[in-house]
Each structure stands twice: as C-alpha cells, then as structure tokens.
Amino acid sequence: MKTMKASSQLWIHGLIILYLLFLIFPLVWVFASSLKSTQELYSGLPTLLPQHITFEHYRSVINGQQIFRSMWNSLIVGVVSTLLVVSIAVPSAYAMVRYRSPINNVILGWILLSQIFPVILVMIPLYVLLRYAGLTDSLNGLTLIYIVWSLPFVLWMMHGYVKSIPLELEEAAVMDGASRSQVIIKVLFPLLLPAIGASALFAFISAWNEFFFALVLMKSPALATLQVELARYTGMEGQSRTGPLAAASVIATIPSMLVFIMMRKWFTTGLVSGALKG
C-alpha cells in the first residue's frame, strides 16, 4: 500500500469526492436554506450560499410552540426509554453469557427472527392492547413501545460485550471474598461502562428517529414527537415553510449526527467482530 503511485492516489481521492458530492450536497443545500432570509428563499434565483446569513428561522423554530414542544416530547420519551431499556438489558445480557441454558438460544433466535416481520403485524394487536390499557395517545405508551422495540438490538450488543470480558477477572474477585453483587457492581460495571454508553446512545437515537409507531399512536397535536410534527409540516403547509422546516431539520439531525460520529469506531470494529463471533 505504501508504494501506491501518486496518480492512483489522485484517482481515489477524486472518486471519494464524487461520492461526497452526492452524499453531502442535499445536506449543504438545506443547511444553507436554513440560513437564508424568506425573501431570498423565494426570490426565484436561488444560489447555493446564502447572500445574507440570518437566524430568523432558528428563532422561529425555538419560539414556535409546536416544534419546540414536540422536541421536548421526543427528548422525554427517548431518555426514559433508554434508561429503562439499558437497565433491563445489562443484567439480562449478563445472565445469558454466564449461564448456559437453552433459553439463551431461544432469545438470540428471537432477536434475529423478529427482523423479518413487518411492524404492521405487531402494531395492529399492540394498538388494540394499548387502547384497552388506555395507553394510546400517551407518552407512557410510546415509551413502553420504544423499550420493547430497541430491546433486541441493545441486548444483542450487550451480549457481545459481556462475552468479551474474561471470566478470570470475576474469579479473582470471588477468591478475594467478594459476593456476586459486589462482583457485578465493582468489577463488571466499570468495565462495561463504555459499552453501556454505546448501547444507550443507540437506544436513544432509535427512539429519537422513530416515526411509524409515533404516527399511529399519538393523535393529539400536543403529544406529537418531533418526527411526526415535521412530517405534518411537509404535508399540509408545504412550501410556505421552507425556511423553518430547513432549520428544524438541521436541529433534528444534530443529536444522531453527534452519536454516529462518536460511535464510528464501534461501527467499523465492534459491529462486525460481534456479528462474526455470533
């Protein structure tokens, strides 16, 4: 690789930049739109870069009740479901790795199998069930759904991480007279902390980005999540909202963008080694 010719290096950069033009252009375009004034947006001759940078659309998004409230709803549902799903998944993953029993294979098999079923099949009876329980059109109901929905993947991730921790560490602590709960809290937990962080970020983002469940379950406008609220804006009011919609899109993308960038090491190493080890 070191002996690669300068001309072929140039080719590779050129091709990557071609990809980037396609992948980044829509984002740049909308980010620029979010900074253009309303007159400029409808001037008929748009340019890529804004002529005068203005934050009016960001201001109107943050002051505008609806979008701000829907952001708050998404945040609450995301944080609560993440905390709960992680506190369920960590002890469960531990139990799956440290005890060998047929239940483990049933659970892992379920995680894979559940990928093939379209959400519509689960959603219909779930909707009926939640309606009985008075949990449709309620943030509690949505939180519950998100816990169940991200549980398989978080469990899968944690299972891989716990597996990678050598048993010898626990044995040593037991030799020193630690009880099992002490082993878990003092030995395992600190080692697992980065993994727990990664799984938590993942759970949060899947809740933050989710659309279908929220669309079906949340009927009152005051309870809409951010994704539902933004989708509604595109439907009804269309282009009169280009500016605020662009600003809201930028804001809505920032959390997952940060998470993806923080987790990129995990994507390129952890994911595949975990998948191959099974």
Q: Using CB under 8 A, which residues numbered 212 to 241 contact other proteins?
A: 212, 215-216, 227, 230-231, 234-235, 239
Listed as own residue / partner, the contacts of 96-105 with beta carbons closer than 8 Å and 24 or more positions apart are 96/155, 96/159, 96/162, 97/159, 97/162, 97/163, 98/162, 98/167
Chain centroid to Cα 131, Å, comes to 27
Among 76, 79, 122, 191, binds other proteins (CB under 8 A): 122
Instruction: Give the tokens for residue 25.
Output: 């252009």
Residue 28 one-letter amino acid: V
Which residues lie closer than 8 Å to 272 by C-beta, 6 or more apart? Answer: none
Q: Which stretch binds other proteins (CB under 8 A): 49-57, 58-66, 195-203, 244-252?
A: 244-252
Element (H, E) at 225: none
Q: For residue 34, give the 3-state DSSP assignment.
A: helix
Among 64, 72, 109, 119, binds other proteins (CB under 8 A): 119
Q: Is 99 a binder of other proteins (CB under 8 A)?
A: yes
Q: Interaction with other proteins in 257-276: which residues (CB under 8 A)?
A: 257, 259-261, 264, 267-269, 271-273, 275-276
Q: Interaction with other proteins in 2-41: which residues (CB under 8 A)?
A: 4, 9, 12-13, 15-16, 19-20, 22-27, 29-30, 33, 41
Among 39, 49, 63, 100, binds other proteins (CB under 8 A): 100
Instruction: Give the tokens for residue 38.
Output: 């309303």
Number of chain residues interacting with other proteins (CB under 8 A) = 95
CA distances in angstroms from 216 to 10, 16, 64, 115, 224, listed in the order given: 50, 40, 24, 20, 11
Among 67, 80, 96, 188, binds other proteins (CB under 8 A): 96
**Contact assessment for residue 81 and residue 146, using Cβ atoms and an 8 Å cutoff:** yes
Whose tokens are 């080890």? That residue is 277
Q: How far is 204 from 77, CA to CA, in rounded Å?
A: 9
Provide the mask over 47-86, with x wherever binding to other proteins is found by CB under 8 A and - wherever it is not.
----------------------------------------
Among 39, 44, 181, 190, binds other proteins (CB under 8 A): 44
Q: Interaction with other proteins in 139-198: which residues (CB under 8 A)?
A: 144-145, 147-148, 151-152, 155, 167, 170-171, 174, 180
